[in-house]
């Protein structure tokens, strides 16, 4: 895919080898790729993210390698696919005698399994540890799965206590951030002095519960007759408002000139019109566009040339490699993500991959036992390949995303040779055990 040559002028990165910018990592939670005004939504208003996108290197064709919270975050942090870091689901399934796996969190075995998953994740190098070793102070807020933020997560400070015996699972007390203000972030930044800082803003928005401020809900009830959709739309703007508050705070402190701002989402969401706090098929926990696509933004005032890219592919696996290049921090070998500031690499990479797994991990260390679907996007084409042991009745699906971005027409029967070629590439990437 070719872009105009002008677009391939490198960034105006004036930082010396020793300079390290602050990093504000903005992570939306359960939001569809089109649910922003800058992405074309006719009703949802996101003025602060619109402004940020206009000031950023913005990839409209960004993707997560997996459409579920915990494995998605683990992939951002390690730069690895779930079958590599082994965290494929939100929980480990408990034996049947423990009852419903979700209710089984009260079973002592849940805490044991939860800790095993965190220990598995920590076997790999990760972004936060790299920043710590590079002299950054770091703060965890919001969504966080992997244990205690300081002890297991390598943060300097954290809002989450992160242990199952205290009710911790995916953020606990940290989930108040944004919904109840951003004061912990302000306090942390103000106390950082001259030391570079990193803030993990894993805000629990627009994630359920969809209980936005009444003023916002009333606004969107004027845009739709469906109260469930209105509540979700309002939470999308609520997220935007919290980001606006963060941006204003940094601007008032004069921090924007030395702060790298990154935005992405963990996975998608399509609101079920009939049920509050529930998602439709073809969104979260699926490899359709509604589950895996997200805009990805990088902004650094006067250092990154703003540009909107709606052609080339980007992945959440690219976040750590790109940030490492911009911040002069080390990166482990063997990662498949690329530095998105290197335009030639962006242009030359035409293929990305990912997979979907069961919500609860069948067996830690055996990702293929939880695998349901794999996907490959090659240019404008996308193949969804079911994993027969867990999806025996599903059939392969082939879509032209340029002509059919909402995946309505399966072209497998009409283009079997193309589907076969894409499957060959998919298997070359990862062939799971049967």
Domains of the chain: 20-350 (3.40.720.10)
Overall pTM surpassing 0.85 (yes/no): yes
Spell out where 338-411 has E strands: 351-357, 360-361, 371-378, 381-386, 397-400
Q: Which two tokens stand for residue 292?
A: 């895996």
pLDDT of residue 11: 41
Distances (CA, A) of 152 to 140, 171, 174: 12, 14, 16
pLDDT of residue 92: 85
Distances (CA, A) of 218 to 209, 233, 251, 286, 395: 17, 11, 30, 31, 43
DSSP string covering 228-281, please? HHHHHHHHHHHHHHHHHHHHHHHHHTT-GGGEEEEEEESS---B-TTSTT-B-T
pLDDT of residue 113: 86
Looking up tokens 């494995």, which residue turns up?
A: 71
Q: What CA–CA distance (Å, rounded) separates 393 from 390? A: 9
pLDDT of residue 167: 65
Q: What CA–CA distance (Å, rounded) separates 198 from 72? A: 20
Q: What is the pLDDT along the chain (434 residues), one digit of tens a residue?
A: 333 333 333 443 434 445 899 999 999 999 999 999 999 999 999 999 999 999 999 999 999 999 999 999 999 999 999 999 999 999 888 765 444 555 456 677 888 888 899 999 999 999 999 999 999 999 999 999 999 999 999 999 999 988 777 667 898 999 999 999 999 999 999 999 999 999 999 999 999 999 999 999 999 999 999 999 999 999 999 999 999 999 999 999 999 999 999 999 999 999 999 999 999 999 999 999 999 999 999 999 999 999 999 999 999 999 999 999 999 999 999 999 999 999 999 999 999 999 999 999 999 999 999 999 999 999 999 999 999 888 888 999 999 999 999 999 999 999 999 999 999 999 999 999 87
pLDDT of residue 105: 66
Closest CA to 357 of 366, 348, 349: 366
Element (H, E) at 324: helix 319-327
* Residue 419 backbone zone (phi > 0: left; psi -120 to 50: alpha; other: beta): alpha
């Amino acid at each position: 895919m070719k872009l105009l040559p002008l677009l391939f002028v490198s960034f105006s990165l004036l930082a010396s080898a020793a300079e390290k910018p602050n990093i504000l990592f903005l992570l939306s939670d359960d939001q569809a790729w089109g649910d922003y005004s800058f992405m074309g939504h006719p009703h949802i208003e996101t003025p602060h993210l619109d402004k940020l996108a206009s000031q950023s290197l913005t990839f409209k064709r960004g993707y997560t390698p997996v459409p579920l919270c915990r494995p998605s975050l683990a992939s951002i942090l390690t730069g690895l696919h779930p079958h590599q870091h082994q965290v494929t689901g939100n929980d480990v399934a408990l034996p049947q005698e423990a009852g419903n796996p979700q209710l089984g969190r009260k079973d002592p075995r849940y805490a044991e399994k939860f800790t095993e998953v965190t220990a598995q994740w920590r076997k790999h190098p990760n972004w936060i540890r790299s920043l710590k070793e590079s002299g950054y102070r770091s703060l965890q807020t919001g969504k966080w799965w992997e244990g205690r933020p300081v002890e297991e997560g390598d943060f300097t400070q954290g809002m989450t206590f992160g242990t199952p015996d205290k009710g911790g699972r995916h953020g606990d007390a940290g989930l108040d951030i944004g919904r109840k203000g951003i004061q912990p972030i302000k306090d942390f930044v103000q106390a950082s002095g001259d030391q570079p800082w990193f803030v993990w803003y894993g805000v629990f928005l627009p994630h359920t519960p969809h209980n936005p401020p009444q003023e916002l809900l009333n606004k969107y009830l004027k845009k739709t007759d469906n109260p469930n959709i209105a509540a979700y739309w309002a939470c999308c703007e609520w997220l935007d408002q919290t980001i606006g508050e963060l941006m204003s705070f940094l601007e008032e402190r004069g921090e924007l000139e030395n702060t790298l701002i990154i935005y992405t989402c963990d996975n998608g969401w399509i609101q079920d019109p009939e049920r509050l706090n529930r998602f439709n098929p073809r969104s979260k926990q699926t490899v359709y566009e509604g589950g895996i696509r997200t805009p990805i933004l990088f902004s650094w005032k006067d250092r990154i040339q703003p540009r909107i890219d709606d052609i080339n592919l980007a992945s959440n696996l690219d976040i750590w490699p790109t940030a490492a290049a911009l911040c002069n921090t080390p990166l482990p070998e063997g990662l498949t993500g690329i530095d998105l500031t290197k335009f030639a690499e962006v242009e030359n990479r035409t293929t990305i991959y990912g997979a979907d797994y069961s919500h609860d991990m069948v067996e830690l260390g055996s990702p293929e036992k939880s695998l349901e679907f794999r996907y490959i996007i090659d240019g404008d084409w996308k193949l969804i390949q079911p994993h027969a042991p867990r999806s025996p009745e599903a059939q392969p699906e082939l879509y032209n995303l340029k002509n059919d971005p909402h995946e309505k027409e399966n072209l497998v029967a009409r283009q079997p040779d193309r589907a076969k070629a894409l499957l060959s590439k998919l298997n070359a990437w990862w062939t799971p055990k049967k």
